Structure 1
Amino acid sequence: MQYEHLIEVNDPNNPMLTQLTRQQLWRGLIHRIEAPGEFLPGVEAVTLVSRSDVHIERVMQLGALSVHDRIDLEHEQRLHYHTRAGSNHLGGELVVTIEEPDEGHLFVRFRYDTPVADLPEDGVDYVGYLKAAYRKMDAEAIGLIRELAATDRLDGPAA
């Protein structure tokens, strides 16, 4: 299954919305990697296996499910998640790209590529459910990043 959606982060026509800087947005996306439990219910533990300026490798524990992924980083531009298949999940890839068509008008594009079949074998629309879940999860993540920025938790040295 391939799925892509776009979330508008800053709406220049909405003065009630806290405007994020590219740095704050980037730090928030990195925080989502480092502290996934704040963004995803059920994460019991995360271990950062390795880290450099260009990648983070981690293991997340969600109950009996262990998820290993490597995230390639293009500073303040893109995150590319490579999730290994495991005994209880199929793995896949996610590319998160910050877009700025006009100065300060930020968007985040989420592009999922998973081995889930586009057509259900048993008549159950798993793909529709997954797409809706991804959309909701990503929108909530941007909302939380906005809250973190409003409380100055995303200020400081560049991640």
Structure 2
Amino acid sequence: MYFEHIVEINDPTNPLAAILSPEQVWAGLMFRVHEPVAFLPGLDRCVVRQESPGRVTRELHFGSACILDTVTFKPQEWVCFESAATAEHAGGRLTIRLEQPDDEQLCLRFTYETTLSEGLEEGESIQVSEFVKSAYRASDVDTVRVIRMIATTGRPH
């Protein structure tokens, strides 16, 4: 399954929303890499196994399930989360790109590539796909909410 959408960070037409800088948004994305519990409901803990410039390997513990993922990134541009399929997890890739179409606008482009609908009948696949896309959208809007909170208070809650 492939799914892509954009969540706007800075909306010049909304004077009530705080304007965030690309640096603040990037800091929030890096917080998601190192402290994902604040962003992923059901995640109990994260163990960073290895870290090098532009790459982090992690263990994500959801109850008894452990998912290994690799995060790669190009500072101020994009971050990519990749995990292999297991019995508990469909596996896939999420890439988040920081985009600034002009001086006032700032947004995040979320791109998902998963094995989720493989092996399902066409009708089931469409139904599962629409449900998952809706969940991804909600999660990504929540990610932006947490990034805003970190930018304005220094804390994710």
Same fold (TM over 0.5): yes
Which residue pairs with 2:135 in the alignment? 133
Which residue pairs with 2:46 in the alignment? 46
1:23 is the counterpart of 2:15: no
Which residue pairs with 1:4 in the alignment? 4
d(CA) in 2 for partners of 1:152 and 1:36?
15
Which residue pairs with 1:142 in the alignment? 144
- Please, what TM-score do these two structures have when normalized by structure 2? 0.91
Which residue pairs with 1:69 in the alignment? 69
| Count of equivalent residues | 154
Which residue pairs with 1:151 in the alignment? 153
d(CA) in 1 for partners of 2:117 and 2:86?
17
Give yes or no for contact 1:32–1:38 (8 Å, CA) kept in 2. yes
| Uncovered stretches (5+) of structure 2, i.e. residues with no partner | none
SS for the counterpart of 1:128 is helix
d(CA) in 1 for partners of 2:118 and 2:86?
20
Q: By how many angstroms is 1:117 displaced?
A: 2.0
SS for the counterpart of 2:10 is coil
**Identity rate, percent:** 32
- Larger helix fraction of residues: 2
- Please, what TM-score do these two structures have when normalized by structure 1? 0.90
Amino acid at match of 1:147: M
Amino acid at match of 1:77: E
Amino acid at match of 2:133: K
SS for the counterpart of 1:129 is helix
Amino acid at match of 2:128: Y
CA RMSD across the alignment: 1.8
Q: By how many angstroms is 1:41 displaced?
A: 1.5
Large movers: runs of 4+ above 3 Å: none
Q: By how many angstroms is 1:137 displaced?
A: 0.3
Give yes or no for contact 1:58–1:70 (8 Å, CA) kept in 2. yes
